[in-house]
Amino acid sequence: MLYRQVYEYVVNQIERGDWNAGEKLPSVRQLALELDVNRLTVFKAYQHLKQEGKVEVKEKSGYYVASRHKPQVESDDSERHWKNKLSEIQRKPAIYQFSTAIIDPNLLPNLFLSDYVKQVFDIYPKLMGTYSTAQGDEELREHLSRYMVRKHRLQLTASELLITSGAQQAIDLIARTYIRPMDAIMVERPTYSAALDVFRAYGARFFAVDITPEGYDLEKVEQVMKQHRPRFFYMNPTFHNPTGYTVPSAQRKQLVELAERYRCLLIEDDAFNDMYFDQPPPPPLFSYDTEGWVVYIRSFCKYVAPGLRICAVMGRKSVIQPLISSKSLADNGTPLVNQKIFLHYFESDRMQQHLKKLRIALQIRRDIMEEELIQAQAPDWQWVSPKGGLYLWIKLPDGFPVTPYLDECLRQSVSFIPGTICDPMNAIDDRIRLCFSFVNESQLREGVRRLVTIARHF
Ligand SMILES: Cc1ncc(COP(=O)(O)O)c(C=O)c1O
């Protein structure tokens, strides 16, 4: 599929107007050298572009952008480079929402938070008239760094922490800081699809390693690092989205050692760390990092307040400094009001009480979803029961037609995420992700029954 990425790269250049109609394209040899790929790969991409009329061949001269080709900055075709496939599905209305990775707002501390809204305006009367620094409110960074030191026994100071507007912004800042078009990056297969969409938009080339209930194949990880020198490995090793798997403790230290040996950053996205059911998860990879090869993203959006969009990015100075510069270019700082409200709630006793109750509520919803799937005798559906997080990752029978099934489910007001969009290769076509955290318990039962009934017709 590598040629497809070269193809996308060329199309992107043409549509942004970097390469104009009638202009000569780099030769196969030149482009292969530039992108560090095989000449045959470039040749195949050029052949496809020729067949589609996007490029023309002039004998003994080379390849040219087709003369009738106009840059199409606003066209649907160019938009595909800036698409968030996940949010497109999530936008579709459905009563039985199993696609949205959100916790039911009834389980979140909305009422308590409004108390803190009043409180922070009393404490900081000029709050609305003040910018945050680009790095984030110092008081919040101090508090979060102490919290991380206590909780995970790691070394961290407030200066090694950056506040972003959600993990989504952190992913975007990392991509814009580290990815140049056609750079190799390593990702899990499957993975969080909106991260793939961001990396794709910046022109990254994917090398994927499977994630399984036992973690990764470390030999494969090492081989990719050694052979392709990826800029980073983006991973979600704890209650992984979409599978719910957790990379075992024993692999974590080894992964950091591999990162050090091959000078490959590990981007550890840890959005679900606190959402465990029985046992807390193993320590983050970041807790093993002494040399600055891990960037740790810890979002608090999911289980405190999605509306406040508070996320902390942590790392040694060498990685945090460039990200602060990118953050400053992006928006000059996350709104200070949000940071202060979050801080005052987060440091209160209510926060820990909320987490305890939330874990129980989420576990109950997971159990209900599993129970209903078993009772409805979903034909040959298989999954590994998650020990935390928000999803079931279901294996459907081979050859099951997921796309028409999703269309019919949406028509009948049930939504889910198809596995293909979580796959860097777009090929996992026998899996779906069902989120159990958003709808209430009776909707959960009804929705699962409907999902299974519809499946019987395929
Ligand atoms: C793995 C992962 N990373 C990042 C995000 C984005 O989270 P945030 O709301 O903090 O932007 C999500 C959201 O579902 C996620 O699942």
Q: What is the pLDDT of residues 364-375, one digit of tens each?
A: 999 999 999 999
238: Cβ contacts below 8 Å, ≥ 6 apart: 246, 247, 270, 272, 273, 281, 282, 284, 388
Question: Which amino acid is residue 13, in one-letter code?
Answer: Q
CA–CA separation, 266 and 319 (whole Å): 11
**What is residue 18's predicted lDDT score, i.e. its pLDDT?**
72
Average pLDDT over residues 59-71: 78
Q: What is the pLDDT of residues 180-227, one digit of tens each?
A: 988 999 999 999 999 999 999 999 999 999 999 999 999 999 999 999
For ligand 1, is residue 230 a contact (CB within 6 Å)? no
Instruction: State the distance from the centre of ligand 1 to the C-alpha of 65, rounded, in angstroms.
Output: 39
Q: What is the pLDDT of residues 79-129, one digit of tens each?
A: 445 566 677 787 788 999 999 899 999 999 988 888 899 899 999 999 989
For ligand 1, is residue 196 a contact (CB within 6 Å)? no
Instruction: State the distance from the centre of ligand 1 to the C-alpha of 168, rounded, in angstroms.
Output: 6
**What is residue 82's predicted lDDT score, i.e. its pLDDT?**
53
Best CA proximity match to 207, nearest among 18, 5, 434, 367? 5
Instruction: State the distance from the centre of ligand 1 to the C-alpha of 169, rounded, in angstroms.
Output: 9
Query: Binning pLDDT at 50, 70 and 90, where does residue 75 land?
Result: very low
Average pLDDT over residues 38-47: 90
Instruction: State the distance from the centre of ligand 1 to the C-alpha of 451, rounded, in angstroms.
Output: 25
In the predicted structure, residue 386 carries a pLDDT above the cut 70: yes
What stretch(es) of the chain map to CATH 3.90.1150.10? 81-107+352-456
For ligand 1, is residue 273 a contact (CB within 6 Å)? no
Average pLDDT over residues 271-298: 96
In the predicted structure, residue 71 carries a pLDDT above the cut 70: no
Is residue 52 exposed (0-12), middle (13-18) or buried (19+ Cβ within 10 Å)? exposed
**What is residue 11's predicted lDDT score, i.e. its pLDDT?**
82
Q: What is the pLDDT of residues 398-453, one digit of tens each?
A: 999 999 999 999 999 999 999 999 999 888 989 999 999 999 999 999 999 999 99
Instruction: State the distance from the centre of ligand 1 to the C-alpha of 42, rounded, in angstroms.
Output: 35
In the predicted structure, residue 78 carries a pLDDT above the cut 50: no
Instruction: State the distance from the centre of ligand 1 to the C-alpha of 48, rounded, in angstroms.
Output: 35
**What is residue 70's predicted lDDT score, i.e. its pLDDT?**
53
Q: CATH for 81-107+352-456, among 3.40.50.300, 3.90.1150.10, 3.30.360.10, 2.70.98.30?
A: 3.90.1150.10
Helices (H) and strands (E) in the chain, counts: 16, 14
CATH architecture of 110-349: 3-Layer(aba) Sandwich (3.40)
CA–CA separation, 137 and 143 (whole Å): 10
Output the residue whose Cα is nearest ligand 1's atom 4.
167
Cα torsion 319, 322, 324, 329 to 10°: value is: -150
In the predicted structure, residue 267 carries a pLDDT above the cut 50: yes
CB 275 within 8 A of CB 223: no
CA–CA separation, 54 and 66 (whole Å): 5
CB 14 within 8 A of CB 52: no
* Triad 135, 270, 418: Cα angle to 5°: 120
**What is residue 74's predicted lDDT score, i.e. its pLDDT?**
41
Cα torsion 294, 300, 302, 304 to 10°: value is: 160
What stretch(es) of the chain map to CATH 3.40.640.10? 110-349
Instruction: State the distance from the centre of ligand 1 to the C-alpha of 313, rounded, in angstroms.
Output: 13
For ligand 1, is residue 100 a contact (CB within 6 Å)? no
Query: Binning pLDDT at 50, 70 and 90, where does residue 387 land?
Result: very high
**What is residue 398's predicted lDDT score, i.e. its pLDDT?**
92
**What is residue 1's predicted lDDT score, i.e. its pLDDT?**
60
Average pLDDT over residues 298-312: 95
In the predicted structure, residue 77 carries a pLDDT above the cut 60: no
* pLDDT cut 70: percent of the chain above it: 95
CA–CA separation, 199 and 384 (whole Å): 28
For ligand 1, is residue 166 a contact (CB within 6 Å)? yes
More confident residue, 76 or 33: 33
What stretch(es) of the chain map to CATH 1.10.10.10? 2-77
Output the residue whose Cα is nearest ligand 1's atom 14.
101
For 2-77, CATH number? 1.10.10.10
**Which residue is associated with the tokens 């790691």?**
154
CA–CA separation, 167 and 392 (whole Å): 22
11: number of CA atoms within 13 Å, CB side? 24
* pLDDT cut 90: percent of the chain above it: 74
For CA atoms 437, 442, 444, 447, give the dihedral sign.
negative
**What is residue 83's predicted lDDT score, i.e. its pLDDT?**
60
Query: Binning pLDDT at 50, 70 and 90, where does residue 59 land?
Result: confident
For ligand 1, is residue 177 a contact (CB within 6 Å)? no
